Structure 1
Amino acid sequence: MAAANDLRRGMAIKYNGNAAIVLEVHHRTPGNLRAFVQAIIRYINTGKSADVRFGSTDKVELVDIERKQLEFSYKDHNGYHFMDPETYDTVTLQENLIGEGRDYLVENLSVQVLYAEGKPVQIEMPASVNLKVVESAEGLRGDTASNVTKPAKLETGKTI
């Protein structure tokens, strides 16, 4: 058991008898009310999200999380395919589990996959990723008085 104030993004909890992963946590202290913790959770079994509120003194049951290092292989219409480098088993994850990291996945990239109750629930991307810029607009000559920014397209298709 842990205090609701100790909830963090990525933790697995048991809520209403179902295991869930915490997606977002906000600590709120309204002026004339008691402090509370507002969290967005995703149920592991159904994949549905819910907005829940805990009192600051409430206790939450934690679920054990297992971490596995997997390598990204490829993406197709079935989902994102990852390989375990030790056993060579392939795991297919749906886009909702990948999140914003999908724009930075390149072949053979190692990521941490979080498992709760034997099911993959979330991935953790590395802190930095080396990507190639495949297309960029030309800079204008003489436009050096300030910081020049221009759009660039990465090898994954994301434009930054």
Structure 2
Amino acid sequence: QYLYSEDELFHFMDLETYEQYTIGVDEMGDALDYIKENEEVDLQFHEDRPIGVILPNTVVLKVTNTAPAYKGDTVSGSGKPAVLETGLKVSVPFFVENGELIRVDTRTGEYIERA
């Protein structure tokens, strides 16, 4: 479980043993864009030392900032920029509004659907 971040360190806890692990910002990589506090994730280890986070293929995140939809904004294949609760920026369809939960592909960083 991802507990919290402090400076450039990220703290995790094994929910079975309650053992805690710390990973640096470099080892976190793209995972920073997709995980929130208290979320359960898998850690990747090398010689009993955590070296990274294994992300699920998709995650659900809240849209925190995007432009409002306007009538006529229905052009197929186009979208508008949105900022998600983790700071990730994605392109979403025009009908997606602030506060909505969306599913994002962690492999491509693209919007999949409303959640």
> Does residue 91 of the first structure (1) align with residue 13 of the second (2)?
no
**CA deviation string 1:27-82 (max 9, x = no partner):** xxxxxxxxxxxxxxxxxxxxxxxxxxxxxxxxxxxxxxxxxxxx111112041111
| Pairing of 1:120-159 with structure 2 (within 5 A) | 120-159=50-89
Task: Output the CA distance in 2 between the equivalents of 1:90 and 1:154.
Answer: 28
Between the aligned partners of 1:92 and 1:78, the Cα distance in structure 2 is: 10
Tell me the alpha carbon deviations over residues 93-130 of structure 1, each in whole angstroms, 9 at most, x when there is no partner: 00111111111111222221121222212221112111
The letter for the 1-side match of 2:59 is: V
Q: CA RMSD in A?
A: 1.5
Q: How far 1:147 sits from its partner (Å)? A: 3.0
Contact preservation (8 Å) 2:63, 2:85: yes
Hey, what does 1:81 align to over in structure 2? 11
Which residue does 2:43 correspond to in 1?
Answer: 113
Instruction: Give the TM-score of the pair, scaled to structure 2.
Output: 0.69
Cα distance in 2 between the residues matched to 1:153 and 1:115: 31
TM-score, normalised to structure 1, is 0.51
Q: Which amino acid aligns with 1:73?
A: L
Determine what percentage of the aligned residue pairs are the same residue.
38
Which runs of 5 or more residues in structure 2 are unaligned? 91-115
Separation in 2, partners of 1:89, 1:126: 22
Structure 1 letter corresponding to 2:72: G
Q: Using CA pairs below 8 Å that are at least 6 residues apart, which structure has the higher relative contact order? A: 2
What is the CA distance between 1:84 and its match in structure 2? 1.0
Report the secondary structure of 1:142's partner residue: coil
Matches within 5 A, 1:1-20: none
| 1:140-160 Cα deviation digits (max 9, x unpaired) | 321324333011111112121
SS in 1 for 2:43: strand
The secondary structure found in structure 2 opposite 1:126 is coil
State the number of aligned residues. 90
